[in-house]
Amino acid sequence: MSKTVVVTGASAGVGRAAARAFGARGDRVALLARSASGLADACREVEAAGGRALALPTDVADAEQVEAAAARAEQELGPIDVWVNDAMATIFAPVKELETADVRRATEVTYLGTVWGTMAALRYMLPRDRGTIVQVGSALSYRAIPLQAAYCGAKFAIRGFTDSLRTELLHDRSGVHVTMVQLPAVNTPQFEWCKTRLPRHPQPVPPIFQPEVPADAIVWASEHPRRELWVAHSAIKAIVAAKLAPSIADRYLARTGYDAQQTDEPVPADRPCNLYEPVEGLHATHGRFDARASDRSPELWASERRARIAGGVAVAATGLAALLARR
């Protein structure tokens, strides 16, 4: 049965890939982002995949715009079943070079955009006692890295906000579910238009994955009541290292984190920046790193099938035990 899905940050990158993946199921998808032209392109992809699309130009940092978009999605597509909070903004710079207005804006988009989206979704889901909210997180919500303090801080805040909400939903015995999908480095256009004060062109920290990998995780998480879903071995490694050996991770990132986030190419003087206004013409699902990006994650595949894998292991163990008992 098709569902009504809202995806923020849907004009490019992971959000666009997720919207298309929901469309491939035949879902009705409301796409939220600032760029009308980027949304129009993304809507065409959703409809080509088999879904119904509704473009809702929205700045998620504005709570009133988010509420208005939610109302239109309900009115034009039907009761919201799934809300995906994916919109983000980042700045590449050491803390000593950050500007207060830039930090505020990145926080408003990435953190408060998630808060406003979650609150808008709850206003419709709670009275019906059903629905799923998917927070698109990152390994950086557990393990912060240099040069992205504003973004890491926002992702940490999203995880704290989500954990609080989860306990409240459990307390109320609510049928609304909230989950968080923790992403690895992804090949998206954000590295072409994010604000940067670095000397060289920003890049995702390798290994890099194509946006379709987290999109698959987002769709899967919307259907399965998992507390969190960790996507890819690199995300798992970063999260576990943050838990078990944070000081070692600090020193490792101090040595490697600067070069790992920059290519050898200098930043051009006319580089676009989407922090305050959308950049036209660059909206796409993939960024420039196709040649280095993987389109699959064995860890995600196994995580999505862990119950069946565990069952298979149990059956095999039982069979082996029975065989040994006959000897």
Over residues 21-68, the pLDDT tens digits come to 999 999 999 999 999 999 999 999 999 999 999 999 999 999 999 999
Q: What is the pLDDT of residue 198?
A: 97
Q: What residue spans define the domains of the chain? A: 4-296
* Calpha distance 184→163 (Å, rounded): 20
Question: Residue 281 pLDDT more than 90?
Answer: no
Q: What is the pLDDT of residue 319?
A: 45
Angle at 73 between CA 67 and CA 105, to 5 degrees: 40
127: helix, strand or coil: helix
Residues 43 and 20 sit within 8 Å (Cβ to Cβ): no
Q: What is the pLDDT of residue 6?
A: 99
The rounded mean pLDDT for the chain is 93
Question: Residue 120 pLDDT more than 70?
Answer: yes
Average pLDDT over residues 96-116: 98
Residues 222 and 45 sit within 8 Å (Cβ to Cβ): no
pLDDT tens string 5-29: 999 999 999 999 999 999 999 999 9
* Calpha distance 211→319 (Å, rounded): 41
Question: Residue 306 pLDDT more than 70?
Answer: no
Q: Is 151 a catalytic residue?
A: yes
* Calpha distance 67→119 (Å, rounded): 9
> What pairing do the DSSP bridges indicate for beta strands 52-57 and 228-230?
unpaired
Q: What is the pLDDT of residue 212?
A: 98
Q: What is the pLDDT of residue 321?
A: 47
| CA 313 to chain CA mean position, Å | 32
Closest CA to 160 of 114, 225, 117: 114
* Calpha distance 82→182 (Å, rounded): 18
Q: What is the pLDDT of residue 312?
A: 47
Question: Residue 314 pLDDT more than 70?
Answer: no
What does the DSSP 8-state code read for residue 109?
I
* Calpha distance 61→42 (Å, rounded): 21
pTM: 0.92
Q: Please give the torsion angle defined by the CA atoms of residues 29, 32, 33 and 36, in that order, rounded to the nearest 10 degrees.
A: 70
Active-site annotation holder among 111, 151, 258, 276 = 151
pLDDT tens string 162-212: 999 999 999 999 999 999 999 999 999 999 999 999 999 999 999 999 999
* Calpha distance 326→186 (Å, rounded): 52
Q: Taking the alpha carbons of 151, 155, 161, 162 in that order, is the dihedral positive or negative?
A: positive
Q: How does residue 308 score in pLDDT terms, banded at 50, 70 and 90?
A: low
pLDDT tens string 91-104: 999 999 999 999 99
Question: Which letter, b or e, does each residue of 85-111 get, where b requires 16 or more Cβ atoms within 10 Å of its Cβ?
Answer: bbbbbbbbbeeeebeeebbebbbbbbb
* Calpha distance 130→1 (Å, rounded): 15
CATH fold for domain 4-296: Rossmann fold (3.40.50)
- Those residues with Cβ within 8 angstroms of residue 107's Cβ, 6 or more apart along the chain or in another chain: 150, 153, 154, 157
Angle at 131 between CA 152 and CA 236, to 5 degrees: 35
pLDDT tens string 229-266: 999 999 999 999 999 999 999 999 999 999 999 999 99
